[in-house]
Chains A and B, each alone.
Chain A
């Protein structure tokens, strides 16, 4: 989806403002949103590749008007509502919701710290996948986007680059977002800044992206 989230290379967003002594969270509600988004996936409801598209579907004007954790809150509630786990009426009147027994997959306090340290790797080292490119190979990225979720940004489409690392088999965000967990070879591809941005960029500057096999063609 070529929505507002795909900001790489866009002009007009102004200076990057650094906040002195920035706290981990700026408000209590941010703590709760962060924790809920992290804990709900224990119930196997969704992962990052479902969560990110939900953020990308926030209407552009709203997307630009709200903060980072508000986007999380919008995405979390839209996923829960879309899947019928909660309703808008319940969100509007939480006191009306009867207390149900604990869901068997709901995170227990004792689950959380081990889960944080364990991570949620999308690497699938045991799965044999096609490796079409070797280190140093010249590649060109696909010219077009995808109607759904994708991790190939607009600014890097139809561009020539060079394979500088092969990472092995990883779930493909585009496919995982719609429930297909077939892994694919993931590469790091380096692009000359001038290839991406033209003569306004400095020669010898470069940019790398981690790209799945499906985004690439031989040069």
Chain B
């Protein structure tokens, strides 16, 4: 857009100020709720710590690696993901009703939520900024292949794309295809190559 640089400059400046204003407003809200006895700040600390250190995409990577190395587990995972994920100790908020969808040579899966930003927290943690962006929410359902190209993914001819717009109570994770050349790898080693984007469906593994 014309004058874009100039506008962007002011824009970011404004946004910085706005950001400070928002941070103060959050502080004010916490102060009021603590004063009213509705919120114990120590409980807030547990939430922050848990999602900063315990719940993140490495959980999902371990689920994927186990599915790649244990066919019986993979069957259970695709049949009842909530229960199979709980076998590894992962459960809870925004993962109460989990579904795992498998990438195959004929179908690539990609997860979005167009109406807000629903996301499977117990296995992937909290969503990245791009997943929550207007661009992803608007475009993933309509032009998934262009979005994939921006993530460096070009799918072979004839592979169908299925987008899962998760707007109700179920939360989705993609089981990527196991890459060639990883035969004989341990689950631990495999988990290291499983990426967050691979489990959302904006990357191959």
Seen from chain A, the residues whose Cβ lies within 8 Å of a Cβ on chain B are 57-60, 62, 74, 76-78, 80-81, 88, 91-92
Instruction: Give the residues from 1 to 54 in chain B that come closer than 8 angstroms, CB to CB, to chain A.
Output: 1-3, 5-7
Q: Which of A74, A80, A91 contacts B1 (CB 8 A)?
A: A74
What mask results when residues 109 to 135 of chain B are scored 1 for a CB within 8 Å of chain A, else 0?
Answer: 000000000000000000000000010
Q: Are A60 and B134 in contact (CB under 8 A)?
A: yes
The chain B residue sitting closest to A145, CB to CB, is: B142
Chain B residue numbers with a CB within 8 Å of A74 are 1-3
Chain A residue numbers with a CB within 8 Å of B5 are 88
Q: Are A88 and B3 in contact (CB under 8 A)?
A: yes
Q: Which of B2, B6, B7, B134 contacts A80 (CB 8 A)?
A: B2
A11 to chain B, nearest CB (A): 13
B129 to chain A, nearest CB (A): 15
CA distance A76 to B2 in the complex (A): 9
CA distance A92 to B3 in the complex (A): 8
Q: Are A77 and B2 in contact (CB under 8 A)?
A: yes
B167 to chain A, nearest CB (A): 17
The chain A residue sitting closest to B2, CB to CB, is: A77
The chain A residue sitting closest to B7, CB to CB, is: A62
Chain A residue numbers with a CB within 8 Å of B134 are 60
B116 to chain A, nearest CB (A): 15
Chain B residue numbers with a CB within 8 Å of A62 are 1, 7
B114 to chain A, nearest CB (A): 13
Chain B residue numbers with a CB within 8 Å of A80 are 2
A7 to chain B, nearest CB (A): 15
A162 to chain B, nearest CB (A): 31
Q: Are B1 and A59 in contact (CB under 8 A)?
A: yes
Q: Are A57 and B1 in contact (CB under 8 A)?
A: yes
Q: Are A77 and B7 in contact (CB under 8 A)?
A: no
